[in-house]
């Protein structure tokens, strides 16, 4: 685990893209275990390799909050053949981030997500052409209306990229909706950083949008450009890699949301 997932500082970064970059810089390691499984632990469920609990790079037990999440992490390890590839293990990387970088500093992670409410993707609109203006409005306006009606967060829109200061009351209202639990705020942070929008992440958390709607809304401009000028293969590859982490985080939010509702 240390060789595979350590970032050089002894902590797994919360930024999923940086976690991938750090993982690919590290040494590759052959699969060294026969079986992956789970076991109950006092604070959750531990993932095991050959019946020995996995530990994070700093030596902490890697624990999941539910059996379902632990089983999914174990499945990532079981699916490795030959060389272990951390890029194919988004839940394991998320678990490392929770234990190493979130559990002891939840408030700081909440603050980091809340910063997006000051310059969210959904605030900055194209002035032309009309087809792009209409598409942004179609995907983004319902989320802004929902934030105003449900959260009491009334934000200001701008044309172009010139920064517009958002009302303190709106930022505070949206921030108060962020979850204080380590796993949920970590997953929400992943969705936020990958989409550029804490509002889209909140809409996913609250069930206002599903994961496909959030992903499409986050790529309105990119998709429009691709339609006009053609697909960039490098951009497409990066997007596919980001989607792996996005889907993992969205799934965690769904699992934990069902637990909360249940």
What is d(CA 237, CA 84) in angstroms, rounded to the nearest whole number? 21
Give the confidence band of 11 by pLDDT, cuts at 50, 70, 90: very low
What percentage of the chain has pLDDT greater than the value 70? 88
pLDDT of residue 261: 54
CATH code, 132:
1.10.3580.10
Give the confidence band of 262 by pLDDT, cuts at 50, 70, 90: very low
Give the confidence band of 231 by pLDDT, cuts at 50, 70, 90: confident
Encode pLDDT of 166-208 as tens digits. 999 999 999 999 999 999 999 999 999 999 999 999 999 999 9
What percentage of the chain has pLDDT greater than the value 90? 79
Tell me what the mean pLDDT of segment 130-136 comes to: 97
Tell me: do 116 and 84 sit in the same domain: no
CATH code, 7:
3.30.2180.10
As to burial, measured by CB atoms within 10 angstroms (0-12 exposed, 13-18 middle, 19+ buried), residue 29 is middle
Is 52's pLDDT higher than 60? yes
Domain boundary, last residue among 60, 85, 102: 102
Tell me what the mean pLDDT of segment 150-166 comes to: 94
Using an 8 Å Cβ cutoff, are 126 and 133 in contact? yes
pLDDT of residue 8: 44
DSSP string, 107-129: HHHHHHHHGGGGS-GGGEE----
Tell me: do 55 and 173 sit in the same domain: no
Q: 40 is written with which tokens?
A: 């109950």
By three-state DSSP, how is residue 83 classified?
Answer: strand
Cis before residue 6, ω within 30 degrees of 0?
Answer: no
Which position has the token pair 């951390």? Answer: 86
What is d(CA 262, CA 259) in angstroms, rounded to the nearest whole number? 5
Tell me: do 46 and 119 sit in the same domain: no
Domain boundary, last residue among 58, 76, 102: 102
pLDDT of residue 4: 55
Tell me what the mean pLDDT of segment 143-149 comes to: 98
Tell me: do 141 and 21 sit in the same domain: no
pLDDT of residue 66: 97
The count of domains in the chain is 2
Domain boundary, last residue among 53, 69, 102: 102
| Residue 182, domain extent | 106-261
Q: Are strands 52-53 and 63-64 parallel, antiparallel or unpaired?
A: unpaired
Q: In angstroms, what CA-CA distances link 91 with 74, 94, 113, 186, 189?
A: 9, 5, 20, 11, 14
Give the confidence band of 14 by pLDDT, cuts at 50, 70, 90: low
Is 139's pLDDT higher than 60? yes
Tell me: do 130 and 212 sit in the same domain: yes
How many other C-beta atoms lie within 10 A of the C-beta of residue 188?
A: 25
Q: Which of 28-32, 61-65, 117-121, 167-171 has the lowest mean pLDDT?
A: 28-32
Cα dihedral: 226, 229, 231, 232 (round 10): -110
Residue 181, C-beta contacts closer than 8 angstroms, at least 6 positions apart: 106, 256
What is the maximum span of the chain, computed from C-alpha positions, in angstroms?
59
């Amino acid at each position: 685990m240390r060789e595979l997932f350590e970032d050089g500082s002894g902590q797994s970064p919360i930024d999923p893209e940086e976690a991938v970059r750090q993982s690919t810089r590290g040494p590759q390691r052959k699969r060294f275990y026969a079986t992956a499984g789970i076991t109950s632990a006092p604070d959750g469920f531990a993932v095991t390799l050959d019946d020995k609990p996995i530990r994070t790079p700093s030596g902490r037990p890697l624990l999941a909050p539910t059996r379902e999440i632990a089983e999914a992490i174990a499945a990532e390890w079981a699916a490795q053949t030959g060389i272990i590839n951390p890029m194919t293990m988004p839940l394991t990387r998320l678990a490392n981030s929770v234990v190493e970088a979130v559990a002891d500093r939840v408030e700081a992670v909440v603050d980091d997500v809340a910063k997006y409410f000051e310059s969210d993707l959904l605030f900055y609109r194209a002035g032309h052409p009309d087809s792009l203006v209409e598409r942004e409005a179609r995907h983004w306006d319902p989320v802004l209306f929902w934030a105003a009606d449900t959260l009491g967060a009334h934000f200001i829109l701008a044309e172009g990229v010139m920064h517009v200061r958002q009302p303190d009351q709106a930022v505070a209202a949206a921030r108060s909706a962020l979850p204080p639990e380590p796993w949920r705020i970590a997953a929400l942070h992943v969705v936020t950083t990958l989409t550029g929008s804490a509002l889209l992440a909140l809409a996913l958390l609250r069930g206002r949008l599903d994961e496909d709607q959030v992903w499409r809304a986050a790529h309105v401009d990119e998709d429009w450009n691709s339609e006009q000028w053609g697909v960039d293969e490098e951009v497409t590859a990066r997007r596919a890699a980001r989607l792996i982490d996005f889907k993992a985080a969205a799934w965690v939010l769904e699992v934990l949301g069902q637990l909360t509702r249940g």
